[in-house]
């Protein structure tokens, strides 16, 4: 009897390990695809399909978090404006909600819930934004409460403070501090530098804006290489050109 029980335990352990490996394999394959989606945006679609399949058979928190991210990228990069974008962000919200239900202490689950909800609200319009703002803030606050070193959490919180009207809790001074905290934690996080530069443009702090944008363009090792390549570099060049028309003074190091 003891031999039978020992064998049964070993069999169950092997099945458990095999199931974990099966879920891990598509997860890692999806992460590899998403790490270089700028080389071929269709990688986002392939990663999402892998993750959907994995979530259907064994929905672990890590798979669902990555699926929420894949749906966010689908909305940002692959979906057409209108209902298609809205549906992508909504699917991202649902995946993140499932991750939160399985792992309430997972800061990344709360992060992607907030990010997808924010994009969903933007796609729906101002009224939806006002209705969903408390939920977005709650998720954002939860990210940093669970993990004060979550870089994207600081960027998210700073973005809310920078873009919400003062009467509704917006605070550009605090937003700037949040973006700077993100850069302290990860100096190569170019999305934080872009947010900071755009804040300086909004407040007509041209010298600081130029400095951040030039650092972004000169970045040798962007943490998010696809977004830096596809989105942030072109945006930085556009902003520098706009600053040149709004502030005729020469940039530091240039002759008048």
- Tokens coding 52: 């959907």
Q: Which of 107 and 129 is assigned the larger pLDDT? A: 107
Specify if 46 maps to a domain.
yes
Mean pLDDT value across residues 130-158: 96
Q: Is the pLDDT of residue 6 over 50?
A: no
* Distance in angstroms (rounded) separating the CA atoms of residues 65 and 51: 10
Give the pLDDT band of residue 165 (cuts 50, 70, 90): confident
Q: Domain with 107 in it: what CATH number?
A: 1.25.40.10
Mean pLDDT value across residues 92-114: 98
Specify if 24 maps to a domain.
no
Q: Which of 53 and 167 is assigned the larger pLDDT? A: 53
Q: pLDDT exceeding 90 applies to what percent of the chain? A: 79
Q: Is the pLDDT of residue 2 over 60?
A: no
pLDDT digits (tens, 9 = 90+) for 22-77: 456 999 999 999 999 999 999 999 999 999 999 999 999 999 999 999 999 999 99
Number of domains in the chain: 1
Q: Is the pLDDT of residue 8 over 50?
A: no
pLDDT of residue 251: 56
Domain span at 127: 40-148
pLDDT of residue 250: 60
Specify if 56 maps to a domain.
yes
Q: Which of 122 and 147 is assigned the larger pLDDT? A: 147
Specify if 64 maps to a domain.
yes
Mean pLDDT value across residues 71-99: 97
pLDDT of residue 12: 36
Mean pLDDT value across residues 207-228: 98
Specify if 100 maps to a domain.
yes
Point out the least confidently predicted range of 70-74, 116-120, 251-255: 251-255
Q: pLDDT exceeding 70 applies to what percent of the chain? A: 87
Mean pLDDT value across residues 69-94: 97
Specify if 61 maps to a domain.
yes
Q: Which of 149 and 15 is assigned the larger pLDDT? A: 149
Specify if 54 maps to a domain.
yes
pLDDT of residue 247: 82
Specify if 86 maps to a domain.
yes
């Amino acid at each position: 009897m003891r031999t039978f029980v020992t064998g049964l335990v070993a069999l169950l352990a092997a099945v458990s390990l095999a199931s974990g490996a099966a879920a891990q394999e598509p997860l890692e394959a999806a992460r590899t695809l998403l790490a270089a989606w700028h080389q071929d945006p269709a990688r986002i679609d392939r990663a999402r399909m892998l993750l959907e399949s994995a979530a259907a058979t064994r929905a672990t928190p890590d798979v669902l978090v990555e699926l929420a991210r894949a749906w966010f990228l689908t909305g940002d990069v692959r979906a057409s404006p209108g209902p298609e974008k809205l549906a992508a962000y909504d699917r991202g919200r649902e995946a993140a909600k499932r991750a939160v239900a399985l792992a309430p202490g997972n800061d990344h689950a709360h992060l992607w819930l907030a990010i997808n909800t924010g994009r969903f609200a933007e796609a729906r319009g101002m009224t939806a934004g006002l209705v969903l703002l408390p939920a977005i803030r709650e998720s954002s606050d939860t990210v940093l409460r669970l993990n004060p070193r979550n870089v994207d959490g600081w960027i998210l919180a700073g973005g809310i403070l920078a873009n919400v009207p003062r009467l509704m809790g917006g605070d550009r001074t605090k937003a700037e501090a949040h973006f700077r905290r993100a850069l302290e934690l990860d100096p190569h996080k170019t999305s934080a530098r872009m947010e900071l530069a755009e804040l300086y443009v909004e407040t007509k702090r041209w010298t600081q804006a130029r400095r951040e944008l030039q650092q972004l363009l000169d970045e040798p090792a962007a943490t998010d290489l696809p977004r830096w390549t596809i989105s942030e570099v072109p945006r930085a060049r556009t902003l520098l050109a706009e600053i040149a028309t709004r502030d005729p003074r020469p940039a530091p190091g240039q002759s008048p």
